Structure 1
Amino acid sequence: MGKTGNLKDLNAPEKLIHILSLVSVLAIIFIFVFVGIKAWPVIRASGAGLVATAGFDKQVSEAFFAPAEAPVYTFGLLGLIAGTLFTTGLSLLAAAVLGIGAAIAIAELAPKPVASALGAVVRLLASIPSVVFGLVGIIVVVPAVEQAFVTTELQIEYLKYFQITGRSLLASVLVLTFMIVPMVISLSIDALRAVPGSLRETGYAFGMSRFRVIWKIVLPSARSGILAGMILAFGRGIGEAIAVSMVCGGIGNIPDLSMGFVSLLTPVLTLSAAIINKSEAMGAYAVESALFACGALLLLIGAALSIGARLIENRLKRSMGDAD
């Protein structure tokens, strides 16, 4: 009887874990279904044009003022998708260079007391609310961009395309970079420190310099963890709304790379920032459905990132196994 009771006690935590896992799965399914239902009117009316056409700002205005008997459900999110990809992609590129370099310096080169202090600073930066980054962006980044790059002649030259101010793609990239770089640094440090010391000692035994050990042994061994950090940072960047909405310019333009550096001064609008910026127009059901369509795209991108991360991780593990 006592043994049976003990077995039941041991199975209780396992059952609880199964129940909580099931609740989590059901919650995720509910979120996808709820957002999909809310977004369906716009998805059905727009079709493939939802992701292939632009003009979201004008369409929101038209849908908001449309009469009740003739609602407007046709929207194009291409400008928002382009703004999201440009902003997040460039930020991730900058964060990768800064983050991996800083992680190597902290995990491999810095003395332990200095590394501990720097690690604490990185964790502190990662915990700062996004609205604080947005405030810094408005107060510091936007004026700095405007003072450094925006001239009256440039504004006049490109006035037929858009109004050039400090609120731009460049300001969004700078703010978002400093938001996601602590995550890249922190996860890269963990990945570098997880590499067995025996691998480093083997490299030194063969006469390799410290730099070559880091470059040829440590980084390849830690690449799966570093890549996971990059994917998580990319996911956070895509979903960031508050800080980006404060500095991006709030217009769904598609940056024209043929303009050169001026394309970085283009005012843009991301999918997540659009939900914030256009929320005052949600009194119109069509606009509400369009914003839920933005949310549905963000959910799909997040799911794709998660699946892609798992596939890449499995591929890296197989390649490392083959190498062994």
Structure 2
Amino acid sequence: MAAISASLVKELRERTGLGMMECKKALQEADGDIDVAIDNLRKNAGLKSAKKASRVAAEGVVTVRVADDASYAALVEINSETDFVARDDNFKAFAARISDAVFESKNEDIAALMEGELEEARSQLVQKIGENISVRRAAIVEAQEGGHVGGYVHGDRIGAVVSLKGGNVETARDIAMHVAAINPAVALPENMPQEQLDHEKAIILAQPDMAGKPAEIAEKMVQGRLKKYLAENSLVNQPFVKDPNQTVANFAKEAGGEVIGFVRFEVGEGIEKEEVDFAKEVMEQARR
């Protein structure tokens, strides 16, 4: 059985809201796999959902730039090893330079973009500050004919761009703010991957209240819960963060717009970060 660290229990508690002992037991039964533990809790304890992992692997910034005519926008993530460096003026200047280069060239290919002067600037910055600096990813979002894009950045760490058919840039920006805050899985229900729907269906079928139900009743219950799942995780069906009495789709419609899609970047998301126990490290050094 894998050793269950306090930090892992803490993360599961933050993501589920359950008690410490329940989380520790779930992790032990899942051999330390937090995603498996969450699935098992959802099956056995009726847990409806869990927050997405908040632990990130890298520091840095996300930048968003939108063209004056709202015809396109650029998102970029630039990483540093520590938050201290991410606040450094030299790092910020480098990040702005990269953001400008992506925006002006409309080039998402980081490898190609970083050839020549920009890579030299990165290398010099690494030598100057003593930390690794990397340009992780970039995205260009272009508006459809007659449409608009709008962007929003929250605290230099979360950026989002929304594309609308029709509408206006202010509406697109407000919806981008919603995307940054709520982090929907997809823009439209039909965009949800079948693999994810199959996974959710398996969890629903394993929940206690499904036991012994006739097949046709169970299927109706599954479809009802999947419909609710899609509503909760699809941008257009979510209650709009600035006015929960209407959906995002309705908010866009009031401005003559229709949501086409979105892109959202969050600093360090999806990167595994090694947890360092500094007290243990000091003790080991002292014993040498």
TM-score by length of 1: 0.20
TM-score by length of 2: 0.21
Higher strand proportion (structure 1 or 2)? 2
Higher helix proportion (structure 1 or 2)? 1
Larger Rg: 1
